[in-house]
Every structure is written in C-alpha cells, then in structure tokens.
Amino acid sequence: MKKLIVNADDFGRHELINKAVEQATEKGILRSATLMPGAKAFDSAVDIGRRHPELGVGIHFTLVNGFPVLPPKEIPSLVTEEGVFVDDHSAFVKKLVSGSVNMQEVRAELGAQLRKMQNTGLSLTHADSHQHMHTLPGVINVVLDLVKEAGIKAVRIPKAPLFSGEFGGIGQLIGRLGLGTLAMMAGSKAKARGVATPDYFAGIVAGEAVTEENLAGVIRDLKPGVTEVMMHPGTHNGQLIPETGWDHDFEAEFKAMTSPAIIKLIEENKVKITNFRSLVMEG
C-alpha cells in the first residue's frame, strides 16, 4: 500500500501558520504537524492539536532560528548575546565543528523542550527538528535518548532526492549530499534503537515551496510504503515573510494541501493519507 504523511513544520511559529494547519486539517490532506516548543504561538497550536485528534502532533526540536525554553544563562553555548539561538544551520554547524557547543547544554535544552510538549497532554507521534539539526553527530544521540525515554516511537529521516525541486547549482548539490549522508547515518542509529522512520522523504530540503504541481508529482511517483512530505504552510505571505525573516511561499504550500485536484489525485491513486502514529501501529 502507498501511504503519504504530509507534515507541517514550524507549527506554533506564527498564528498564520497555525491557521493554515487547522484549515488544512479540516479541508485538506494534512494529518501531521511538528510543534516548536519555544515558539510564540505555542499555546494556540496546542489548542488546535487538542481540537483535532486526527492531527498527529510531534515535536519540532529547535536549536537554531528560534527561542530556547531554558533561561539563556543556563545554555550559554547555544545562544547569542540576545538570548536567542543562532540564526541558521550553517552558524550552528560551525560552532559544533569548532567544539563551541556544549552537548550537556544541548541535552538540557532539548529535554526541557520535550517536557514542555509532554506537559500539554498531547500524545506525541514523532520527532524532527528545525533545519534538520537532529541529524548532526552528537545531536542525534541526544534526540534518540530523549525520544526513547519519552516513548516516542518515530523520527524523521530527511533523505531527499538530490534533484528534487529547482536545481540551485553545485552549492545546493553539495548541501544535499551532506544532509543525505547525515540522514543515512541518523537513520541507521534510529533503526538500531528501535525507532521507526518513514521509508521515503520527499520534502524539498533547500526551502523551496512544495507547490501543487510538485505535490502532484510526488503522489504520482509514490512507491509502496510510507513517504513523508515536509511542508511549511501559511495563509498570508505578505505578513509571514517579513515576520519570520524567511522568503518562502507559505501560501503555495497551503494551497497544495487543500487543493481539490490533489485530493482527487490521491483518491485515483489509492493513496492512504496518514501520520506517524499510523506508521508505528501498522508498520
């Protein structure tokens, strides 16, 4: 059987992202989302998760481009002078490689993020991370320890096809090769620890929007097994782009999730829309 997990990342980051998640759950094919523990719209995202038990909610572990849960003074190697995380994966990787990241602080912060999620009462379906930081050496070990202790049974492995989406040149190719290698290593560790992962990943890792056309192509090319598609929906680019600092077409992804043509294509191809809970229950 062909199964598709459409996951909305960055749940809780902004009210317009939360709005898109709820509407795409009610009117579209969204059945999975990962919530950022330190995000500003966290509480309303939790309310949406409670209202919609069909939406499998996981944790979007955050070490970059966001806000910590612990007081900044407790995790000085992870935050800037302003008390927030460094802005992107490149900055974090440079700190990690140089030995400037205290892994005990990583464990403490991610543990605090997980406890905050557990305290909501939501039954967490899986774990992933903002900008795929959970695949990094050392960080993946911490994440797998935490999810095992918490009884979370699945994680994302972001091994995307090298040439998915728009091709951005040799730099993008090298980046995808690097992430693909990290993802393979993380997947092996997850398997060894008994943590489930989807069979395939179809998110576009460089941040381009998964348009209706892109999503239709994924559906037509689905293989038997479980495929996850990573998406970032929102309802108003004009507000979201400046307020998140990310030039991303949130609206296009929301449109793809709620498209009648996509829903029809799924029916025609006998694809089962699911979430990570089903992945564990059904195998």
Angle between helices 212-220 and 260-268 (to 10 degrees): 0
Which residues have C-beta within 8 Å of that of residue 51, sequence separation ≥ 6? Answer: 22
Q: What is the three-class DSSP state of 172?
A: helix
- DSSP string covering 17-44: HHHHHHHHHHHSS--EEEE-TT-TTHHH
From the candidates 9, 10, 128, 249, which is the catalytic residue?
A: 9
- Report residue 211 CA to chain centroid gap: 17
Q: Are 59 and 142 in contact (CB under 8 A)?
A: no
Q: Are 277 and 125 in contact (CB under 8 A)?
A: yes
- Catalytic status, residue 9: yes
Known catalytic residues?
9
